[in-house]
Amino acid sequence: MAPLDALREEAAALDAADALAHFRAEFHLPPRADGSPTVYLCGNSLGLQPRETREDLLAELDDWARLGVDGHFEARTPWFDYHQALKPGLARICGATEDEVTSMAGLTTSLHALLVSFYAPRGRRRKILLEGGAFPSDRYALASHARLHGHDPADALVELQPRPGESLLRRQDVLDRIEALGDDLALVMLGGVHYYTGQLHDIAAITAAGHAVGAKVGWDLAHAAGNVPLQLHDWDADFAAFCSYKYLNAGPGSAAGVFVHERWGDAPELQRLAGWWGNDAASRFSMPAQFVPARGADGWQQSNAPVFTMAPIRTSLRLFDRATMPALRAKSLALTGLLERSIAAVVPAGKATLITPCDPSQRGCQLSLEVPERGEALHRALAEAGVVCDFRRPSVIRMAPVPLYNRFDDVVRVAEVFARLLG
Ligand SMILES: *Cc1c(COP(=O)(O)O)cnc(C)c1O
């Protein structure tokens, strides 16, 4: 059988047997010009809108219209502690206790709030270990904290690079680097899943290595939250933050998620950028002159809850709770595995190379495909065929089949375009 025919058959069988298939109908799939749905593989950049989001947002608008200021305590979900409604779902996404998670601000802003507490250079212990080619916002944030403490980022920031000729970081190289930095290392902050290569790091092992030399270890989980199962409490991370608009489908610019390990939940010695919403809820409105931090991650909040960007997070977390992370991960492994095999089946060797790890335990759903020639033309052809994915210069196409709303048939559609253009 021709490879594409075999793939069509396999995908049809997988879709027919998919216990999560009905979740696709819970989302708005952007239509093509002819009204048919696009093959949306861009959930790593902006997740799709769940159908129930509109109703949940309208409920908040209605409460505001009906109650005005009284909505703080009398809305169906009182705005005073709106973030409480997100905790159970966020805790399950993070593998954390409810005390350890909260929602606030944006991702970069949340990282700044956490870095003030967890980057505390002293003497020679001032280095920050990050990935070379880290997401620019993370790099800017880390460099600004180095400067804030009077250090030159060129000295304080240590960037991990793959070995020459390789595009991924080897786990052992990361661990060795941490050990070599030893007493110089103040903080390790990496992306759990790298935004460009799709590499999933061994969060537990890297965290343990950082702690072994006396450093703090934090994670940017923008590309990991809602994509791969996380056990942040057991993995012992000091802190983490993630946006809610990628795999968590909460809409552009929605509030970020924050994790602070229980051992720091009640640690007055940590510096913080305090604000009234991080104050103990019991005394918040008696406006004490002295800041009394709330226990747990909530103590890092600053401003009152951005309800209109938190309501869509609730909607999304409800879907995750219904589907459950283990079931989503199982489908994700199958979806991404099929995409990988399809590419291998229709693309001649040398025309395109996967830079994402082949080992499924070292990646989430995203595959990054390096196309040395005509990458942009291929990306355009994918768009014309109704496939939404992105192209990163100089030569990488990123595709993220998302188990909540993508079908196995979507993968075949991609393979058809690859076969036509590269086969
Ligand atoms: C998406 C992403 C961001 C975006 O930050 P915002 O503050 O939400 O704009 C930051 N870091 C990483 C690693 C990302 O993937």
Structural domains in the chain, sorted by start: 3-37+324-422 (3.90.1150.10), 57-321 (3.40.640.10)
Length of the chain: 423
The predicted structure's pLDDT at residue 42: 98
Q: Is the pLDDT of residue 423 over 80?
A: no
Q: What is the mean pLDDT of residues 52-79?
A: 98
> How far is the centre of ligand 1, averaged over its atoms, from the C-alpha of 344 (Å)?
31
Q: pLDDT tens for residues 25-48?
A: 999 999 999 999 999 999 999 999
The predicted structure's pLDDT at residue 373: 87
Among the ranges given (86-95, 248-257, 333-342, 349-358), the one the predictor scored with the smallest mean pLDDT: 349-358
Ligand 1 atom nearest to 134, measured from its CA: 13
Q: pLDDT tens for residues 214-246?
A: 999 999 999 999 999 999 999 999 999 999 999
Non-local (6+) Cβ contacts of 242 within 8 A are: 107, 220, 221, 222, 224, 225, 248, 256, 257
Report which protein residue has its CA nearest ligand 1's atom 15. 222
Q: Cα separation of 419 and 423, whole Å?
A: 4
Q: Is the pLDDT of residue 1 over 80?
A: no
Q: Cα separation of 422 and 404, whole Å?
A: 29
Task: Look at the block and give the residue holding tokens 């595995």.
Answer: 337
Could you tell me the two tokens for 344? 């291998």
Q: Is the pLDDT of residue 287 over 90?
A: no
> How far is the centre of ligand 1, averaged over its atoms, from the C-alpha of 137 (Å)?
6
Q: Cα separation of 238 and 309, whole Å?
A: 26
Ligand 1 atom nearest to 195, measured from its CA: 15
The pLDDT confidence band at residue 278, using thresholds 50, 70 and 90, is very high
The pLDDT confidence band at residue 415, using thresholds 50, 70 and 90, is very high
The pLDDT confidence band at residue 408, using thresholds 50, 70 and 90, is very high
Tell me whether residue 374 is exposed, middle or buried, using C-beta atoms within 10 angstroms of its C-beta: 0 to 12, 13 to 18, 19 or more: middle
Tell me whether residue 348 is exposed, middle or buried, using C-beta atoms within 10 angstroms of its C-beta: 0 to 12, 13 to 18, 19 or more: exposed
Q: Is the pLDDT of residue 65 over 90?
A: yes
Q: Is the pLDDT of residue 360 over 80?
A: yes
Q: Is the pLDDT of residue 110 over 90?
A: yes
The pLDDT confidence band at residue 130, using thresholds 50, 70 and 90, is very high
For residue 218, the cross-strand partners are 189, 239
Q: Are 232 and 259 in contact (CB under 8 A)?
A: yes
- Probe residue for ligand 1, chosen from 199, 243, 249 as the CB with the greatest number of ligand atoms within 8 Å: 243
The pLDDT confidence band at residue 268, using thresholds 50, 70 and 90, is confident
The predicted structure's pLDDT at residue 335: 98
- Probe residue for ligand 1, chosen from 131, 137, 258 as the CB with the greatest number of ligand atoms within 8 Å: 137
Could you tell me the two tokens for 153? 């980022």
For 165-200, give the DSSP string: T--S--HHHHHHHHHHHGGGEEEEEEESB-TTT-BB
At 27, which helix (H) or strand (E)?
Answer: strand 27-28
- Probe residue for ligand 1, chosen from 103, 104, 107 as the CB with the greatest number of ligand atoms within 8 Å: 107
Q: Is the pLDDT of residue 101 over 80?
A: yes
Under DSSP, the state recorded for 348 is: P
At 104, which helix (H) or strand (E)?
Answer: strand 101-104
Ligand 1 atom nearest to 243, measured from its CA: 8
Report which protein residue has its CA nearest ligand 1's atom 13. 135
Give CA separation, 328 vs 83, 137, 229, in Å: 25, 29, 9
The predicted structure's pLDDT at residue 205: 98
Residue with the bigger pLDDT between 269 and 216: it is 216
Could you tell me the two tokens for 368? 């990054």
> How far is the centre of ligand 1, averaged over its atoms, from the C-alpha of 34 (Å)?
33
The predicted structure's pLDDT at residue 258: 98
Mean pLDDT across the chain = 96
User: What is the gyration radius of the CA atoms in the chain, in angstroms?
Assistant: 22
Q: Could you tell me which of 205, 213, 164 has the C-alpha nearest to residue 187?
A: 213
Q: Could you tell me which of 268, 213, 271, 263 has the C-alpha nearest to residue 238?
A: 263
Q: Are 278 and 294 in contact (CB under 8 A)?
A: yes
Q: pLDDT tens for residues 162-176?
A: 999 999 999 999 999
Non-local (6+) Cβ contacts of 297 within 8 A are: 99, 100, 101, 102, 258, 259, 260, 265
The predicted structure's pLDDT at residue 421: 86
Looking at 274-324, list the stretches that DSSP marks H as alpha helix, in order from N- to C-terminal side. 281-284, 307-323
- Probe residue for ligand 1, chosen from 114, 135, 309, 390 as the CB with the greatest number of ligand atoms within 8 Å: 135
Non-local (6+) Cβ contacts of 89 within 8 A are: 313, 314, 317, 318, 320, 321
Give CA separation, 369 vs 4, 117, 166, 320, 379, in Å: 19, 38, 14, 28, 11
CA 392 to chain centre: 18
Among the ranges given (273-282, 323-332, 333-342), the one the predictor scored with the smallest mean pLDDT: 273-282
The predicted structure's pLDDT at residue 414: 94
Q: Cα separation of 243 and 104, whole Å?
A: 10
Q: Cα separation of 189 and 118, whole Å?
A: 10
Ligand 1 atom nearest to 135, measured from its CA: 13
Q: Cα separation of 105 and 117, whole Å?
A: 16
